[in-house]
Structure 1
Amino acid sequence: MNSVSVSNELNELLNQDNVHVQLSVPQLVEKVLKRNEGVLTSTGAVCATTGKYTGRSPKDKYIVEESTSKDKIDWGPLNQPFPEEAFDLLYNKVINYLKNKEEVFVFKGFAGADKQTQLPIQVINEYAWHNLFSHQLFIRPTEEELLNHEAQFTVISAPDFKADPKVDGTKSETFIIISFERSTVLIGGTEYAGEIKKSIFSVMNYLLPENQILSMHCSANVGLEGDVALFFGLSGTGKTTLSADPHRRLIGDDEHGWSSNGVFNIEGGCYAKCINLTREKEPQIFDAIRFGSVLENVVLNKETRVADYDDGTLTENTRAAYTIQSIDNIVDPSIAGHPNTIVFLTADAFGVLPPISKLTKEQAMYHFLSGYTSKLAGTERGITSPEATFSTCFGSPFLPLPATRYAEMLGEKIDEHNSQVYLVNTGWTGGEYGVGSRMKLSYTRAMIQAALEGELNHVETVKDSIFGLHIPLHVPGVPDAVLQPNKTWNDQAAYEKKAKELAEKFKVNFEKFSKVPAAIREKGGPIA
């Protein structure tokens, strides 16, 4: 089957009477309730559960091996090849499955706020609540744009369709398969809505660099004077929380492009973790969860339908999806200038990295390629407690191209725009996970505020003896003792042992970057 036949099959489905195209939010909410896919919360949001799949399934993600793209893809465990013939057969099965459903839902919109490079997309859903999710997460067209909308990429999501590994060539009943030649993403066997969002991000991570645009897994905001900040980090490190700053306007919370004109949001909404969410700590996120928003796997009081954000019974990876317009303090459209400050966020389960440190150019490139953090419970299947991991460019599961392609582009832009780069540890202090405690959010906010306002540009620093990082000795609003991790541990021998253990993990991980310039390897990483 070629792209033409894929299009014909798709058109046949879309022309059926059971297909609802571009339903409004109220219409979708009505469908969700009528079909018993979810319930209304006390604030008017829809709450749905996703069954056994409460996080992404990276081992079930594939890219079709096609002549036009196979020489560009960084093949491996994260970008597994899938045969064209097997994809075509599975595609036919899913299309025929949807043809026989009572209802199918279609959302038409865009990925990328920059009009010059945005990607027209359509999302075809078996579930109404997934279509509502898509309406919240992607950029919604105006009435005029909808009239002329022609999708250049299609996501087809059929959660109740289970693959047969012996027949279909998958590893399990679940599959997330991208075909760049057919401009199609095929999803089945999982109800986790995040797969829809992240599949389009993976697509953009392939397409944007082809246009000399850096695609980034980061949040972004802008200050009153137009200064732009980027926040890189994996799920659970604080991207969404820290970028939702009442004193700065939000550009976006998770996915961005950096072109010759500046930064733009790839999405039209936010997908925030909401475990332990409170209005006091995160007022913008808390108040955004209202009519039209979608909650995933959040436990509700059965009578009052009030959300219990402290209840992680279903998963620690509880989520809220809402449009960026649900937040008052935003940039609209989601476009801004070049970044003045770049922050790499890590949740260090070892408890040995400084809460904030200034990075040299070489250190910035080293830590960007390393992408160290701890996977937190619930973000992926099988993760039940924090686990040290390295995710290249803070987003390796979503990068179809070799990591060095993105790193080289970032390095060039840091040089060109003289961006200041900081490593911020939002993880543990005073000991490793299980012994120490999580860094106070108020301290992290104070440190980042100081960095954004330029207060750390000329502050006195001390060089960490193991990691070589430059640690500020004073940050307004933060106790000095908190800034140096060795001073927060009661057992200095235990600290040094754990720090050297992590340093060795950095070195071993970095061995895979054999073509990286020597200066980055020698001056960027641990020194002990």
Structure 2
Amino acid sequence: MNSVISNEILELVKGSNVHVQLSVPQLVEKVLSRKEGVLTASGAVRAQTGKYTGRSPKDKYIVKEPSTKDKIDWGPVNQPISPEVFDKLYHKVIRYLKEQEEIFVFKGFAGADPSHRLPIQVINEYAWHNLFAHQLFIRPTEEELAGHQAEFTILSAPKFKADPEVDGTRSETFIIISFERKVILIGGTEYAGEMKKSIFSIMNYLLPESGVLSMHCSANVGFEGDVALFFGLSGTGKTTLSTDPNRRLIGDDEHGWSSTGVFNMEGGCYAKCIGLSEEKEPQIYHAIRFGSVLENVVLDENTRIPDYNDSSLTENTRAAYPIDAIDNIVVPSIAGHPNTIIFLTADAFGVLPPISKLTKEQAMYHFLSGYTSKLSGTERGVTSPEATFSTCFGAPFLPLPATRYAEMLGEKIDEHNVQVYLVNTGWTGGEYGVGSRMKLSYTRAMVQAALEGELANTETQKDEIFGLEIPLHVPGVPDEVLLPKKTWQDEKAYEEKALELAARFRENFKKFTDVPAEIEKLGGPIQ
């Protein structure tokens, strides 16, 4: 680590304006006294993030350094920036934080497995950001804290705004990772999720270097020790389906898969809460209590009761809470090797099977594709579905080439004989606007059958366009629902739409120039 930068951080955290490792009640008091947020009826803190209510991917950079320049998958996701630009901004942020009346430091870890955990420290201008870090990352014991030596430091200064002409950034906002200096600089944005995802990006670089597959997925374990992973983009049902009263939660978003099994990278959950209700998601609803952080959730002015259906500030309303606020969890957040992997997609074209079994090659193909669909427009507007592909179900957070992660996944599927399924939680009986959303009860029944091994030897039929093996019988699901072509009134219209989606898969896959030919040949739609 650069000795000058290291010494400057050491000097910063020893300043008279620094609060180190405040407790949750102390941080809540600071949030309220500094008027950074308000207390809600459930005891959670509500903060607003101003104009930035989500991540700023166009303002995220990685420093192009000798040790990383030949390893990073440079491009629009991993944008390079020079060490000189980083150093100049770094010194400005340090000076800015020194001048603040108060700053807040959290020391903790990323990675529940002690063999693969990363000691981190988070230095914040805002008390509520420090509370967020305290709840989202892994909190140390007193003994661990005594010997804690951070390997990476986040410097977060939301009110510090860059001058693009002077500082070499695109805008006032910047999120910059330096792997050699082991520092993440965040400025010009109050959105707390930048801290969480920056550490995830760090882990996605470091873990594969030590033979651990890093994954953007949720994970749970059955009472007999069987482990399941759930991959899926926003809106596919990842959180809903992995939060199961009959299984214990390992984690809801970020995991590593080592030679001994899977482990959660985090100590908390960062749940979307638009439309949240006690009836539909009771565990998340009741986790939002004292010590939790609500972002951009609208409150009743008098009662301070959250209105989770109000999206006037943003659709991306969020709740951050420690994982032990969920009742049914694994402690510590570590389990064995997965028995089952579920890829979730919400196909608004209505042509993918509700569940299908994947070979290893198909698993790698669909992992690299990371397909779901989003709706372009409002419910009152024109609503033709738009295919969306996010490599490895987490493209914005992958510093290394995507094939590195896919190859590791394929190796682990082989080594541990993992059953992999593609589950479509989207539309059936027609595309969006014609068909209907797959019933959640059917999806739950399909997932349960997959996890319990009931589909391992069941009779299947090959889809003539996508090449997927479709189980013909699933307990609790009508047989006719399982074959998408039979749910459409017009079979020709189905074929046209299916061929359209298959063409989009093939077009998207052209960007992978270094993928073995058998993955494309055996994994994708039938040519």
User: If the length of structure 1 is used for normalisation, what is the TM-score?
Assistant: 0.95
2:319 is the counterpart of 1:320 = yes
Query: 1:158 corresponds to which residue?
Result: 157
Cα distance in 2 for partners of 1:317, 1:444 equals 25
2:71 is the counterpart of 1:78 = no
Query: 2:222 corresponds to which residue?
Result: 223
User: How many Å apart are 1:298 and its aligned residue?
Assistant: 1.4
Report Cα offsets for 1:94-146 as digits up to 9, x if no partner: 11111111211111100001111210000111111111111111000001111
Give the secondary structure class of the aligned counterpart of 2:69: coil
Q: 1:72 to 1:375 in 2, by over 3 A?
A: farther
Quick one: which amino acid aligns to residue 224 of structure 1? F
Give the secondary structure class of the aligned counterpart of 2:175: strand
Give the secondary structure class of the aligned counterpart of 2:461: strand
Q: 1:335 to 1:394 in 2, by over 3 A?
A: same
Asked whether the 8 Å contact 1:236–1:273 carries over to 2, the reply is no
Query: 1:443 corresponds to which residue?
Result: 442
Name which of structure 1's ranges 334-343 and 354-363 shifts more when overlaid on structure 2.
Answer: 354-363
Query: 1:274 corresponds to which residue?
Result: 273
Cα distance in 1 for partners of 2:427, 2:250 equals 28
Quick one: which amino acid aligns to residue 250 of structure 2? I
Give the secondary structure class of the aligned counterpart of 1:251: strand
Give the secondary structure class of the aligned counterpart of 2:199: helix
Query: 2:497 corresponds to which residue?
Result: 498
Q: 1:183 to 1:464 in 2, by over 3 A?
A: same
2:213 is the counterpart of 1:214 = yes
Query: 1:249 corresponds to which residue?
Result: 248
Q: 1:429 to 1:474 in 2, by over 3 A?
A: same
In the TM superposition, what are the counterparts of 1:388-467 in structure 2 within 5 Å? Answer: 388-467=387-466
Quick one: which amino acid aligns to residue 319 of structure 2? A
Query: 1:374 corresponds to which residue?
Result: 373
Q: 1:466 to 1:94 in 2, by over 3 A?
A: same
Quick one: which amino acid aligns to residue 357 of structure 1? S
Cα distance in 1 for partners of 2:276, 2:385 equals 19
Give the secondary structure class of the aligned counterpart of 1:292: coil
User: How many Å apart are 1:465 and its aligned residue?
Assistant: 1.8
In the TM superposition, what are the counterparts of 1:48-63 in structure 2 within 5 Å? Answer: 48-63=47-62
User: How many Å apart are 1:226 and its aligned residue?
Assistant: 0.3
Give the secondary structure class of the aligned counterpart of 1:249: strand
Asked whether the 8 Å contact 1:363–1:524 carries over to 2, the reply is yes
2:59 is the counterpart of 1:68 = no
User: If the length of structure 2 is used for normalisation, what is the TM-score?
Assistant: 0.96
Asked whether the 8 Å contact 2:348–2:374 carries over to 1, the reply is no
Quick one: which amino acid aligns to residue 184 of structure 1? V
User: How many Å apart are 1:12 and its aligned residue?
Assistant: 2.3
In the TM superposition, what are the counterparts of 1:356-375 in structure 2 within 5 Å? Answer: 356-374=355-373
User: How many Å apart are 1:310 and its aligned residue?
Assistant: 1.6
Q: 1:127 to 1:491 in 2, by over 3 A?
A: farther
Query: 2:510 corresponds to which residue?
Result: 511
Cα distance in 2 for partners of 1:446, 1:310 equals 28
Q: Give unmatched runs, 5+ long, in structure 2.
A: 378-382
Q: Give unmatched runs, 5+ long, in structure 1.
A: 379-383
Query: 2:380 corresponds to which residue?
Result: none
2:275 is the counterpart of 1:285 = no
Give the secondary structure class of the aligned counterpart of 1:345: strand
Q: 1:492 to 1:160 in 2, by over 3 A?
A: farther
2:515 is the counterpart of 1:525 = no
Query: 2:125 corresponds to which residue?
Result: 126
User: How many Å apart are 1:216 and its aligned residue?
Assistant: 0.7
Cα distance in 2 for partners of 1:490, 1:169 equals 57
Cα distance in 1 for partners of 2:505, 2:370 equals 10
Cα distance in 2 for partners of 1:344, 1:442 equals 18
User: How many Å apart are 1:274 and its aligned residue?
Assistant: 1.3
Q: Percent identity?
A: 80
Q: 1:154 to 1:13 in 2, by over 3 A?
A: same
Q: 1:357 to 1:70 in 2, by over 3 A?
A: same
Number of residue pairs aligned between Structure 1 and Structure 2: 522
Asked whether the 8 Å contact 1:236–1:376 carries over to 2, the reply is no
Give the secondary structure class of the aligned counterpart of 2:61: strand
2:33 is the counterpart of 1:34 = yes
Asked whether the 8 Å contact 2:387–2:504 carries over to 1, the reply is no
2:315 is the counterpart of 1:340 = no
Report Cα offsets for 1:329-381 as digits up to 9, x if no partner: 11101111000000111122322222211111111111011111235899xxx
Give the secondary structure class of the aligned counterpart of 1:509: helix
Cα distance in 1 for partners of 2:161, 2:316 equals 23
Query: 1:103 corresponds to which residue?
Result: 102
2:471 is the counterpart of 1:472 = yes
Cα distance in 2 for partners of 1:445, 1:284 equals 17
2:20 is the counterpart of 1:21 = yes
Give the secondary structure class of the aligned counterpart of 1:85: helix
Quick one: which amino acid aligns to residue 338 of structure 1? H
Cα distance in 1 for partners of 2:374, 2:444 equals 22
In the TM superposition, what are the counterparts of 1:169-248 in structure 2 within 5 Å? Answer: 169-248=168-247
Name which of structure 1's ranges 310-319 and 418-427 shifts more when overlaid on structure 2.
Answer: 310-319
Quick one: which amino acid aligns to residue 227 of structure 1? D
Asked whether the 8 Å contact 2:384–2:432 carries over to 1, the reply is no
Give the secondary structure class of the aligned counterpart of 2:290: coil
